[in-house]
Amino acid sequence: MTLDRRRFVLGSLAAGAAAACGSRRAPPPAARSGPAPAQPAAPPARQTILVLGGTGFLGPHVVEAALARGHTVTLFNRGKTRPHLFPNVEKLQGDRDGKLDALKGRTWDAVVDTSAYVPRITKLSAELLAPSVKQYVNISTISVYAKRDTPGADETAPLATLPDPASEDVKAHYGALKALCEQAAEAAMPGRVANLRPGLIIGPGDPTGRFTHWPWRMLEGGEVLCPGDGGTPTQYVDGRDLGAWIVKVVEDNTVGVFNALGPERKIAMREVLEACNAAAGNKATLTWVDAAFLEQHEVAAWSELPMWFDATGEMAGFGTMSNARAVAAGLGFRPILDTARDTLAWLPSVHEDKRRQISSTGISREKEAKVLAAWKARG
Ligand SMILES: NC(=O)c1ccc[n+]([C@@H]2O[C@H](COP(=O)([O-])OP(=O)(O)OC[C@H]3O[C@@H](n4cnc5c(N)ncnc54)[C@H](OP(=O)(O)O)[C@@H]3O)[C@@H](O)[C@H]2O)c1
Closest C-alpha to 49, from 68, 72, 23: 72
Bridge partners (DSSP) listed for residue 198: 260
Q: Which atom of ligand 1 is nearest to the CA of 61?
A: 20
Among 9-18, 118-127, 200-209, 232-241, the least confident range: 9-18
Closest C-alpha to 250, from 330, 178, 185: 330
Distance 169 CA to ligand 1 centre (A): 16
Q: Is the pLDDT of residue 231 over 90?
A: yes
The answer to whether the CB of 59 is under 6 A from ligand 1 is yes
The answer to whether the CB of 96 is under 6 A from ligand 1 is yes
The answer to whether the CB of 90 is under 6 A from ligand 1 is no
Among 177-181, 247-251, 283-287, 375-379, the least confident range: 375-379
Q: Is the pLDDT of residue 201 over 90?
A: yes
pLDDT at residue 43 in the model? 72
CA 333 to each of CA 63, 90, 123, 244, 274: distance values in angstroms, whole numbers, following the listed order: 19, 30, 32, 10, 18
Distance 78 CA to ligand 1 centre (A): 11
Bridge partners (DSSP) listed for residue 112: 51, 137
What region does 221 belong to: left with phi over 0, alpha with psi -120 to 50, or beta? left
pLDDT at residue 44 in the model? 81
Q: Confidence class of residue 21 from pLDDT cuts 50, 70 and 90?
A: very low
Q: Is the pLDDT of residue 23 over 90?
A: no
pTM of the shown model = 0.91
What is the Cα–Cα distance from 60 to 38, expressed in whole angstroms?
A: 34
Closest C-alpha to 355, from 1, 7, 5: 7
Q: Is the pLDDT of residue 28 over 50?
A: no
Chain centroid offset of residue 264 CA: 15
pLDDT at residue 37 in the model? 54
pLDDT at residue 1 in the model? 40
pLDDT at residue 11 in the model? 36
Per-chain mean pLDDT for the chain: 91
Hey, which of 115, 118, 129 would you mutate to test ligand 1's pocket, going by the most ligand atoms within 8 Å of its Cβ?
115
Distance 131 CA to ligand 1 centre (A): 24
Q: Which atom of ligand 1 is nearest to the CA of 60?
A: 20
Pairing mode of beta strands 108-113, 90-93:
unpaired
